[in-house]
Chains A and B, each alone.
Chain A
């Protein structure tokens, strides 16, 4: 045993305490850094020499302290949960935004929505029935019919535009997913190299985990820990990121999908490498896919059905009547989902207000048309049931968002309570390590003065 062994021991203590103080400093410095995980020093007592030798045995205590490593205090299970819950929340929030925009398209209840335009249209028939000879009443009716057609067409094209912009958004998000995937793969490879080289990859891992949680909001993912501190990211059971390799996703619109045929040839997400469909659920991508393939086409087809209903009931009654010139009524509306609703009649005299078999100034057919407003299963009723569905769906989605936001907040809270920095705790640690450092220094002083006694004051006998 060397006489100077104690100095070495003291030194290890000073090193370890200083390292611990630095870690506390790093934690405090990053108290508000997004995605930062608090770190803790792992210390271990340095054991005595254990290799027995014939002429040299060790009879003293331990050899000081070793820094075994610096740990990230992160619970992988909560990370996984948080990724899932954030994915679900982003999914629901996307849906909720889609519904909110649809509510704007329909703008009910109001004095200007389709319901009000329908009421105006039916009232126009009453006016014509009151004064079948008055061209002004007929012209007014035609204007109202055109306004109504514009109202229906605007709602339909509003939904189409929303569908188109959702598709654009989906493409942007998928390219963002691809770029995040490749950055995660780069960080993975840096982490693997660092941990193989014996360096601490903690800050890299924090950065990577932040990207993973960003990714989880874009698309539903499962995260799986891999060797050397890397993680694999799976989308629908297939690897988006595996170690240092990232795959790409692409948006597919088979046969130029539009809102009209999205329910039969849906928009899909494909793997770029083999064009195999990816089973995506959750995240903004999941929400947008539901909107594109189900919600928007569904509401569009229901709106189209109301328009078709209006066209049918009005045309069927109108052809029974006789117009101001004595000719039988013709179709008033024509409707095609592609081109929209249009008013076929341009000459006000061609409005068939009179009942067949009566004089030309009869208004019986106009009254019959006005009464279609309250027809059971008529356009008004069907439109109202569309609006009630929209209201209920929106309300349900908003409630689910509220609930999911609560769950996500709780999971985030648990994760933060595990990984977040508590300043009081760090201050207490600082005090403890500072004291330990002071004590270590005192120990060094003690050894020093012992050696001083030994070297400078002993052996003076006979001097």
Chain B
């Protein structure tokens, strides 16, 4: 304010008060930042920063969810993988048994015993095919069912040929692991164990058991059929492995992203602690100076000097 005006005690008083309260207001702002630890406490503090902060928060929530989806998908794939490894062990054992039975030295009783073991292994494989993850049979596609295969080896799920689960949506279970990226995490029974209409693993095993008992001459044909199934399972295992790697890579990326976004949010929203403390101290110095000046300015008057 220009000094061309007539200055009165009241105006000095008013102005000092105004300046003091402005100083105090700035102090309060820094105090609020320090105590909340946040640069933005309301949208008007920084409108664009506010929206960035909102978007960052939504992104964090979304990417965390992607990471959780990936972990869940990875678990699905893991369960399917270990189940199929066990199926392969069982089929390997069956293959050994057939080879032994094909050997002329095994007699009818021996073959019957082998047939009994094959039957029990078949039952084991059906149990494995009904493996559940979180109470849901993993090989039943998207069908709402308690079992993927019943005791006789009939497929109860969906996505059986001629439907192609790779094309979806029938029989396809997916996990959304990145924006627009859905990874398939399941295999349907027919994909692993063969098309029931043409003759799946369970039909082949039934045939095997019958041939062991009644028609040993047919065993080599059966063996070929079994090998086809083993090949299929191995191929599908390889596919699972590839998906597992993909989903793990996605999860890793999601976790990295979470760190990046959190850093971004912190840069927008959080205070620079040393900077804020220094600012507050500077403001405190200014406030003290204003107080000091006020106490000096309000004191003197002509009254002090008149006798």
Taking beta carbons and an 8 Å cutoff, which residues of A are in contact with B? 31-32, 99-100, 103-104, 106, 108-109, 111, 113, 115-116, 118-120, 122-123, 126, 129-131, 133-134, 324, 354-355, 357-364, 367, 370-371, 373-374, 380, 384-385, 387-388, 390-392, 394-395, 398, 409-410, 412-414, 416-418, 420-424, 427-428, 431
Contacts and interface: CB of A to CB of B under 8 A. Distances in A.
Contact of A387 (B51, B176, B269): B51
B162 to A, nearest CB: 14
B53 A359 contact: no
Contacts of B158: 358-359
B169 A355 contact: yes
Nearest to B268: A109
A410 to B, nearest CB: 6
Given A387-B54, A410-B1, 9 more contacts: A109-B43, A119-B58, A358-B168, A360-B143, A391-B50, A420-B6, A420-B11, A421-B9, A422-B8
Interface stretch (B62-70, B79-87, B280-288): B62-70
Contacts of A413: 1, 5, 11, 14-15
Contacts of B68: 126, 130
Contacts of B151: none
B9 A390 contact: no
A427 B302 contact: yes
A395 B45 CA distance: 7
A410 B62 CA distance: 53
A371 B50 contact: no
Contacts, number: 190
Interface in B141-200: 141-144, 157-159, 168-176, 179-180, 182
22 contacts: A99-B44, A104-B42, A106-B43, A108-B50, A109-B43, A113-B54, A119-B57, A126-B68, A324-B144, A360-B143, A362-B170, A364-B174, A374-B179, A385-B51, A416-B8, A417-B8, A418-B6, A420-B10, A420-B11, A421-B8, A421-B9, A422-B6
Contact of A126 (B6, B14, B69, B303): B69
B57 A373 contact: no
A114 B165 CA distance: 39
A435 to B, nearest CB: 13
B136 interface: yes
B278 interface: no
Contacts of A355: 168-169
Query: Chain B interface: which size bin?
Result: 35 or more
Contacts of B7: 417, 422
A256 B303 CA distance: 63
Contacts of A109: 40, 43, 50, 53-54, 57, 269
Interface in B238-288: 269
Contacts of A414: 5
B306 interface: yes
B107 interface: no
Interface of B: 1, 5-11, 14-15, 18, 40, 42-48, 50-51, 53-55, 57-58, 61-62, 64-65, 68-69, 72, 134-136, 141-144, 157-159, 168-176, 179-180, 182, 269, 301-303, 306
Contacts of A364: 168-169, 172, 174
A380 to B, nearest CB: 6
B54 A108 contact: yes
A423 B305 CA distance: 13
Contacts of B173: 361-363
Contacts of B179: 371, 374
Given A392-B47, A423-B303, A431-B306, A133 B135 contact: yes
A345 to B, nearest CB: 19
A359 B62 CA distance: 26
A122 B179 CA distance: 13
Contact of B301 (A120, A370, A410, A424): A424
A422 B176 contact: no
B48 A388 contact: yes
B44 A363 contact: no
A100 to B, nearest CB: 8
Contacts of B136: 131, 133, 361
A424 B143 CA distance: 97
A134 B11 CA distance: 73
A384 B8 contact: no
Contact of A115 (B57, B182, B306): B57
B172 A362 contact: yes
Contacts of A374: 62, 179
